[in-house]
Amino acid sequence: TAAGVADPDGAVVLVEFYRDADGNGTWDGAIDALLGSDADGADGWSWPGTVTWSAGIHTYFARVQDDYGAWSGPVSTTNRVNEPPLIALYEPLAGAVVRPGDAYTIAWNDYDPDDSAQISLGWDIDTDPVNNDAGLHGTTWGIIVVGISEDVPTDSYDWTVDAPSGGQYHLYALISDVLETDEDYTFNTVAVDIPPQITLGDPGVGTVVTVGDVYAISWTDADPDNDARISLYWDLDTNSGNNLPFNEGVTWGTIATGISEDDPADA
């Protein structure tokens, strides 16, 4: 854009604009590319074309002709032609399963020669960002984090898993330098486990057993994944945190391990 062009002893009749075609920072009318001209130096001029030259810093020149045919010397300015940022996510392992609250590391490769891009991460039930309506946020898609600098040396982020349990989710990343964006979805998904649940049946009040007696322990359990295992213990108190190896068999003990939660007896 040019504005404020004037001639103290005449009238401006033409303004010409050039790109430094050979990249030497010096104007040469025989070499540099004419971008366009304007016959009115008072109302400004903007180039309407499409950039086809390489990304990076480029120099541009302008010169003015008056009504006597005299030309001014060139004036110059510089401008950066943006190079789009790029991002590619590493794929989760096939069949990856995480639990709500787990820390799951998302890693990627990114590229932005301008060193100005920001990265956002999310999860999605599919790979179509167009259907990510605001009203479905937290249900079918979700934002994990925004505003990560692409200069972060680790190119990774530890996600505290907060997607709904029972779903399988693609991960996606978006990188933007304001002018342009790039995005990537993983092909593989991450499954968020539904935690198993168990409730023991209480012994009758005042129940007494002796060593060698057979005592039936019963419970109800649930595990939609049908892959849980149950262990049973006895304990003098209700604090499993103090069940240390040295006092096993004294203040607490193992009754059984490896019981399938699919056992129909639940006992």
**What ranges do the domains of the chain cover?**
12-81, 86-192, 197-260
Half-sphere exposure of residue 32: CA atoms within 13 angstroms, side-chain side: 23
- Over range 168-196, report the average pLDDT: 95
pLDDT digits (tens, 9 = 90+) for 90-106: 999 999 999 999 999 99
Model confidence over 121-144: pLDDT tens digits?
999 999 999 999 999 999 999 999
At 61, list the tokens: 């020149």
Strands (E) located in the chain: 12-19, 33-38, 56-66, 75-81, 86-89, 97-98, 103-111, 118-124, 141-149, 156-160, 168-176, 181-185, 190-192, 197-200, 219-222, 229-235, 252-260
Question: Which run of H or of E encompasses 106?
Answer: strand 103-111
Confirm if 121 and 173 have CB atoms less than 8 A apart.
Answer: yes
- pTM over 0.75? The answer is no
Cβ atoms < 10 Å from Cβ of 243: 16
CA distance 227 to 229: 7
Task: Give the strands of the sheet with 33-38, arranged side by side.
Answer: 33-38, 12-19, 56-66, 75-81
Instruction: Give how far the C-alpha of residue 88 lies from the chain's centroid of Cα atoms, to the nearest Å.
Output: 10
Q: Which of 41-50, 63-72, 146-155 has the lowest mean pLDDT?
A: 41-50
What is d(CA 36, CA 16) in angstroms, rounded to the nearest whole number?
6
Cβ(193)–Cβ(225) below 8 Å: yes
CA–CA distance, 20 with 74 (Å, rounded to integer): 12
Could you tell me the two tokens for 9? 């002893």
The CATH number of domain 86-192 is 2.60.40.10: yes
Task: Tell me what pLDDT residue 34 has.
Answer: 93
